[in-house]
């Protein structure tokens, strides 16, 4: 079903960090932002341009400028924001859709993390948000009244054994969101995280036991798991002027998972069909 365009982002400009391919949450956010009238730039690490389908996305988003940048490098971000200003001007929104854990990729158990990789997880998945916002401010590349959104997971609040050091990274990411949100309020800039359901993307499916995590969440969530497209539609509301007073929040976009203890469908799965009264 094609999605209606509400013109929520007409006249706005922004940058989306992290689309890789058509499964990526960032991919769908870029498409939804474009559909809602925004002009945007797309960023990822150089290797992702080769491995992913980012050029195709740029075409689908009105020949959006592509900006290669490792978001864990302040130097590369400095260059990236200079390029962004040159190609698009200062922006009204920034989306951080970046995550990676070498420990998860290489199946190191949480009790025996490789600390260099742990550092990398925190740097790429969380500190990168700090670096992005700090460099955007230094470059005067974000407008007053703007909106910054980063993607997170409920593994920041509750332990999901296979989520390993990403849970720690997401807790840091959410804290950085609050710390910057309080500082940028005077400029009307909002900073929020969206805590998304398990989603079948490259980063998601790299987590051991992802299918079980996905199926469990599907059974527990009254509305079922939210897809990447659903997430994109929610995120554009946060980038729009309709949510000007929402900041420093971790907003669950998970079909109700975060508020559910146990569900009938999970009970049925564990104990068999429910007896009819
Ligand atoms: N998939 C899920 O189940 C799920 C659930 C909740 C939240 N999230 C979050 O959503 C966000 C997007 O992930 P996704 O699931 O769409 O997976 P994805 O693999 O499509 O996207 C992750 C992106 O991070 C990029 N990246 C990695 N290292 C980078 C670096 N140094 N600099 C810049 N970019 C870098 C990758 O190239 C990739 O494009 C992540 O923050 C992820 O943790 C995912």
96 C-alpha vs ligand 1 centroid, how far in Å? 9
Distance of CA 63 to the CA centre of its chain: 22
| Strands of the sheet with 91-96, listed across from one edge | 66-68, 39-44, 13-17, 91-96, 142-152, 190-196, 250-253
Q: Find out whether the beta carbon of 18 lies less than 6 Å from any atom of ligand 1.
A: yes
Mutate to test the pocket of ligand 1, among 51, 119, 131, 204 (most ligand atoms within 8 A of CB): 204
Q: Is the CB of 97 under 6 A from ligand 1?
A: yes
CB–CB of 195/253 below 8 Å? yes
Q: Which domains does the chain have, with CATH numbers?
A: 13-271 (3.40.50.720)
Active site residues per annotation? 153, 163
Angle at 12 between CA 6 and CA 18, to 5 degrees: 95
Q: Enumerate the H helices of the chain as residue ranges.
A: 25-35, 46-51, 54-60, 74-87, 102-105, 115-122, 128-138, 164-184, 202-205, 210-220, 228-239, 264-271
Geometric angle at alpha carbon 258, from 21 and 126, rounded to 5°: 50
Determine the distance separating the centroid of ligand 1 and the alpha carbon of 77, expressed in angstroms. 17
| 162 within ligand 1 shell (Cβ under 6 A) | no
pTM comes to 0.97
pLDDT on residue 29: 98
Centre of ligand 1 from the C-alpha of residue 146, in Å: 22
Q: Which two tokens stand for residue 95?
A: 């989306």
**What CA–CA distance (Å, rounded) separates 231 from 193?**
12
Place of tokens 């995280």: 193
Is the minimum distance from the CB of 77 to ligand 1 under 6 angstroms?
Answer: no
- Nearest-CA residue for ligand 1 atom 20 is 24
Helix 128-138 to helix 74-87 angle, to the nearest 10 degrees?
50
Contact (Cβ atoms closer than 8 angstroms) between residue 34 and residue 60: yes
pLDDT of residue 269: 84
Residue 138: per-residue pLDDT: 98
Query: Is the CB of 247 inside a 6 Å radius of any atom of ligand 1?
Result: no
pLDDT at 243: 98
Q: What is the pLDDT of residue 38?
A: 98
pLDDT score, position 1: 54
pLDDT under 50: residue ranges of the chain? none
Q: Residue 58's pLDDT is what?
A: 97
């Amino acid at each position: 079903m094609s999605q209606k365009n509400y013109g929520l982002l007409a006249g706005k400009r922004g940058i989306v960090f992290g689309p890789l391919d058509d499964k990526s949450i960032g991919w769908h956010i870029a498409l939804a932002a474009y559909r809602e009238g925004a002009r945007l730039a797309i960023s990822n690490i150089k290797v992702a341009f080769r491995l992913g389908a980012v050029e195709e996305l740029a075409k689908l988003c009105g020949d959006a400028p592509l900006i290669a940048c490792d978001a864990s490098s302040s130097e590369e971000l400095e260059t990236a924001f200079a390029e962004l200003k040159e190609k698009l001007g200062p922006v009204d929104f920034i989306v951080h859709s970046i995550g990676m854990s070498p420990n998860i990729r290489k199946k190191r158990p949480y009790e025996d993390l490789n600390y260099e990789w742990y550092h990398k997880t925190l740097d790429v998945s969380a500190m990168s948000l700090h670096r992005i916002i700090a460099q955007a401010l230094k470059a005067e590349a974000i407008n007053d009244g703007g909106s910054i959104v980063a993607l997170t997971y409920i593994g920041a609040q509750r332990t999901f054994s296979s989520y390993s050091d990403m849970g720690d990274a997401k807790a840091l990411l959410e804290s950085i969101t609050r710390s910057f949100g309080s500082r940028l309020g005077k400029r009307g800039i909002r900073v929020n995280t969206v805590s998304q359901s398990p989603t079948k993307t490259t980063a998601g499916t790299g987590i051991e036991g992802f299918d079980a995590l996905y199926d469990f969440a599907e059974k527990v969530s009254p509305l079922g798991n939210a897809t990447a497209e659903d997430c994109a539609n929610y995120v554009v509301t946060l980038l729009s002027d309709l949510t000007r007073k929402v900041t420093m929040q971790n907003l669950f976009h998970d079909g109700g998972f975060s508020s559910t203890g146990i569900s009938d469908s999970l009970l049925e799965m564990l104990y068999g069909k429910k007896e009819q009264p």
